Every structure is written in structure tokens, then in C-alpha cells.
Chains A and B, each alone.
Chain A
Amino acid sequence: MSNQVFVITEHINGQFDDSSFEMLAMGREVASATGGELVAVLMGHNQKDLASQLGAADKVIYADHESLANFNPQAHAKAASAIVAANMPRVVLTAYSSQGMEMGPAISVSQNMPLLAYVSGISVSGGSLTVVSQLYGGKMNVESQTSAGHCVMSVLPGAASADAGRKDGAPAIDDFAVDLGGLTIKFKQLIEPDKSDVDITQQPILVSVGRGIQNSDNLPMVEELAAKLGGAVSCSRPIVDSKWMPKTRQVGKSGLKVKPKLYLALGISGAPEHIEGMKDAELIIAVNSDPKAPIFDFAHYGVEGDLFDIIPALTGKL
């Protein structure tokens, strides 16, 4: 086993996700504590030049293969596992993201390494790692220790500063030859999101509604409030999954990241996947009937109450 800290980076359409830079920032702190090297793992096809954005790392390991041109769960899981197997680093950071969720567990099982998910913090002391995971929809933190020596982690977006890990440079590049025969999963295409609706990322005022609204018949009162405020309606994921609002209005991990002047969250619990999309709003006001709702940890102002009382009262006063 080496003392290295590996960061499995991710990119789509030639663009790194912020989470890659956040992991480099977090990885640097862990590497300083272990006294090891910080290594960025880059997978792609004819995309070696992307390494110039990974200047925060001491070294880049680059695997090039036709099947790595676009993310492929089977190909990337195999390649990432092979790269880890060849080096046996102390810590492997993967993102809690659509791509990372295919690779972390794969590395864990194939290399017999412990895995910790939803990681918001890591500290190193001697031989053991202490790791905090955010569980139960953000309602409970769990601290774990692993003395196995090495560990894979799935890091929550926002756990570290992307700016601290975003550094151009010319890190040393080790090419890694990867064998990807016999793939049974093939990438077909990327489907770009619909752009015809209101662009909620450009709206200064968002009235955002969650499962607390109970059913779609109650949406008009939210629209009325948004109209009075001169804003647009956005929502949490279950509202989209129920087909009550279009995907274009979804805020969060698999939706859009918004930074409005006002984000009024109505009946949204504040799961980490939602917080990821709105935590940088200038003013967050949350209305929720549960005083322990995690959204109150992130909002600037909180209203404990029933949205069916607050919405008409507020609309009446505007």
C-alpha cells in the first residue's frame, strides 16, 4: 500500500465537474496529513490535454481508450479499479455523483477496500481515518473510523471549495494502459436538456415547492404567490417525478444549480441532493412544518408553520 491520495476526476463534454476540483482541495488536505502524494486520475480518449486543468495534483494518471471517450459505467468502473489496483493508494476519493456512484462501489468490492458514502469531512490521525457521512436525508451525521489502512470515499458536493482545487499547471502525467475487452454496455448518446422553458438559473426570485404541497391541485396558489413576487416557480425532485412540473424547474443535484436573490422554499425538507442546487442563493427563506427539517440549517430565515396558512397570508400582503 502506498501513502497516496487518489482523486477520480469526472468530465462531460470536455468539462470537469466542480466536484473534481472540490475533491482535489479535500485530497490535498488529506495528503498533507498522510505525507503522501496527491494523484488525479483522468480517463478519456484523446483528452490528455484536460490534465492541464489538474494543476492542484502532484501527478496525473491518464488512461486513454476508445470506450472511455464518453462515460461508460462498465468501462470506467473497470479502468478506475485497475488503476487503483496497480497503485494501492491509502485514500481514493470519488464524487457522490452519477458517475462516481458507479465507480466507488466497484473499486471497493474489486480491491477489497472499505467504502464510506456521503462524506462531508475526513481527518487523519496515525493509522486511522475518521470520516463524517451525512445520512438520513441530511437529518443525521455519522462518524466512522477505519483502521484498514486504506479506504474509498464518495464525497458530497460542496464538502470542500472548488476554487481551492482549481489550478492550471503542467503536472507530471503517467500513461496507464487499460484493457477493456468484452464490454456488454455501450454508450449511445447524450441527450441535452430542454431549453424552451423559463431558465430558472437566470431568475432573481424563485418560489420553490416540495412534497409538502401534497398534490398538483395546490400548485396554482404557489404560482399566484410567485407572480405577486415577480418570480418563477421551481421545485424539488419528487414534484418532477410526479409529473406535476417539468424537469426544467427542478433544483438540485440532478436538476439545476441556482443562485437567485431570493429562494423561498415551501415544504422542502432540505435533502443534500436539493441543498446542492440552492445553497448559494443570496437570501433563503424556508417554510416547513417540521422544526427539525434540515432546510433550516441552510436557510437564512425559517418559518415553522403550515404552508397552506403561510402562502395565502403572504400572497394577501403583497
Chain B
Amino acid sequence: MNIIVPIKQVPDLVEGLEIDDSGKDLNREWMKFKLNEFDDHALEEALILKEETGATVTAIALDSDDVDKALFTAAAKGADTIIKVTGVSGTGLSSHEAAKALANVIGGMSYDLVMTGVQAIDDRDGQLAVLLAHYLDKPHVSVVTSVTVAGDQAVISKEYGGGLVAEFEGTFPMVLGIQAARQSPRYVPVAKVRQIMRSASIEEVAAGDVGVSSGSDITKYFTPVSGGGAEMIGGSAEDQAAKIVELLKSKGIK
């Protein structure tokens, strides 16, 4: 069984986001990136399936800032092959273009499952998994929390609200949007990634003709002020705690 796992880097929210001078994009100059956490779950579920069934796992990413590190980390965790799609810049690319570029490459490969994260924080024009499925003309299940393989089929759990889960049975090939792996994504020490960088190599494949777009233009970025904002309680931790207790008393809660 062959599993392909598209992964991508997203801005690390811990760093804070800044709007650039045009007002229509983020300032990406000092941006720090990290792997999309849901892609990390997709990779984890694929690696669990590899351990269970002997599947081969291929991690694939569009060329973008810091992507080599993400691919080598995937290899250090257990991906058999790592591929970088060249000729497009993945940073800030629309989901439609990303999906089409990946479909061009994946369409020429042999696969049973494509597993990617259910969403990313910058999917302005839609989540990758289902877009990719339709460019590949393959069926899809998204918001997936477990995959159990038997022969050329898999039983897939999909989550709804309130803890309700639906089970589906699907025949390969198909595309899955992974919400959460069965266990927390594994950790790999930096030393192991460095070691893999010396032994493994990234295969480069050209994206070919992408020819699609998001169909919309960004007119501005702005920071939200949704709920009007909280009244902030200042002071030392002791002061803050005392004020919370006062507040609870005044509301009749304590």
C-alpha cells in the first residue's frame, strides 16, 4: 500500500502577525514557520498505518520557505520518500493552485491513500484535501479521526459536532482530510533530523501547468475586534486573582 502525505508550512502564530505596507498581505520577511499541525497528524496516522501494514509513506510539499526542514523531519519520523514540488512558490499560494500543482504530481504516481491535514490556518479559498480529491477525480472523506485498513478498503471515522462519529467504508484510492491521528504526533530529536539530512535526499518534481486560480482577489487584511474586547484586569498575579474573586462575588458566583 502506498500513502502520500501532502504537508505544508504555515506561519507560527506564537510570533504574532504583521500586515505589510500594501495592506493586502502579511509581512513575511521575519516570519517564522512551522508545520501545519493537522498535517503533522496526517503524517502520524500514515506512519501508524505503515507500522500496521508495511505501507510505504511519501511526504510531499510545494517549494516554500523552510520546506526542506519539514521534509527532512518527515523522513526522520519514518517517511520512505520525500518530494519537493518545484516551479511554484507554496508560500502564500491559494489552495486551488496548491491543490492543482499537487494533483499534477500525485496524479502520475501510484497510490492508495492521500492523507493531508483537515485544514490550515491560511486556507482562504478552501481546505486542501477535498480540492485535491476533485482535481485528482477521487473520492474523499474529511474530518477523519481514524483509519483502519483491510485489503483494498479502509474503515474511516469522521467526526461531527458533539462527539458524534460516522463510520464509512471506502475502496482505494481515496483522499482523506485528517483531523487527528489516533495518537499524538511523534517527536523526533533535531540530531536525528540532522543525521537524515546527510543520508536522505529530497526528490524534486516540477509542478507543470497549474492553470487555475482562487477566482478572488485579496482587498485587505485587518485585525478582528469581534466581541468588543474584554475589560482587562491588571496588576500582579496576586492582584489579578483578588480582582477575579471580587468579580465572582459581585456576580453572585462565589
- A interface residues with partner B (beta carbon < 8 Å): 12, 17, 70-74, 77, 97-99, 101-102, 104-106, 108-110, 113-118, 130-131, 133-146, 148, 151, 154, 183-194, 205, 229, 237, 241-243, 247-248, 250, 253-257, 261-262, 269, 279, 283-286, 290, 292, 294, 296-306, 309-310, 313-314, 316-318
Q: Are A140 and B216 in contact (CB under 8 A)?
A: no
- The distance in angstroms between the C-alpha atoms of A146 and B217, with both chains bound, is 6
The binding surface of chain B is classed by DSSP as: mixed
CB-defined contacts of A141 to chain B, threshold 8 Å: 221-224
- Nearest-Cβ distance from residue B124 to partner chain A, whole angstroms: 5
Name 21 interchain pairs, CB-CB below 8 A, sorted by A: A74-B140, A98-B161, A105-B133, A106-B133, A108-B126, A108-B131, A109-B134, A130-B219, A139-B17, A142-B124, A184-B174, A185-B168, A185-B174, A193-B163, A229-B248, A256-B163, A294-B224, A300-B230, A300-B231, A301-B233, A313-B241
Q: Are A189 and B139 in contact (CB under 8 A)?
A: no
CB-defined contacts of A262 to chain B, threshold 8 Å: 248, 251, 253
Q: Are A310 and B221 in contact (CB under 8 A)?
A: no
Q: Chain B residue with minimal CB distance to A276?
A: B161
CB-defined contacts of A130 to chain B, threshold 8 Å: 219
- Nearest-Cβ distance from residue A233 to partner chain B, whole angstroms: 16
Additional 8 contacts, C-beta under 8 A, given A101-B119, A184-B174, A257-B162: A73-B139, A98-B158, A102-B130, A292-B16, A297-B227, A303-B240, A303-B244, A317-B245
Q: Are A131 and B140 in contact (CB under 8 A)?
A: no
Instruction: Determine which of B95, B162, B169 lies in contact with A193 in the assembled complex, contact meaning CB atoms within 8 Å.
Output: B162
Q: Could you say which of A144, A250, A299 has the most chain B C-beta atoms within 10 Å of its C-beta?
A: A144
CB-defined contacts of B121 to chain A, threshold 8 Å: 135-137
Listed from nearest, the 5 A-B pairs whose CB atoms lie closest are A114-B215, A193-B163, A302-B230, A313-B241, A109-B134
Q: Could you say which of B13, B19, B142, B157 has the most chain A C-beta atoms within 10 Å of its C-beta?
A: B13
| Count, A-B residue pairs, CB within 8 A | 278
Q: Chain A residue with minimal CB distance to B135?
A: A109
CB-defined contacts of B141 to chain A, threshold 8 Å: 73, 102, 185
- The distance in angstroms between the C-alpha atoms of A241 and B146, with both chains bound, is 12
- The distance in angstroms between the C-alpha atoms of A234 and B210, with both chains bound, is 45
Q: Are B131 and A105 in contact (CB under 8 A)?
A: yes
Q: Are B218 and A144 in contact (CB under 8 A)?
A: yes
CB-defined contacts of A261 to chain B, threshold 8 Å: 251, 253
Q: Chain B residue with minimal CB distance to A188?
A: B167
B6 within 8 A of A: no
- Nearest-Cβ distance from residue B71 to partner chain A, whole angstroms: 24
Q: Are B163 and A250 in contact (CB under 8 A)?
A: yes
B200 within 8 A of A: no
CB-defined contacts of A145 to chain B, threshold 8 Å: 216-217, 219
Q: Chain B residue with minimal CB distance to A247?
A: B163
B30 within 8 A of A: no
- Nearest-Cβ distance from residue A314 to partner chain B, whole angstroms: 4
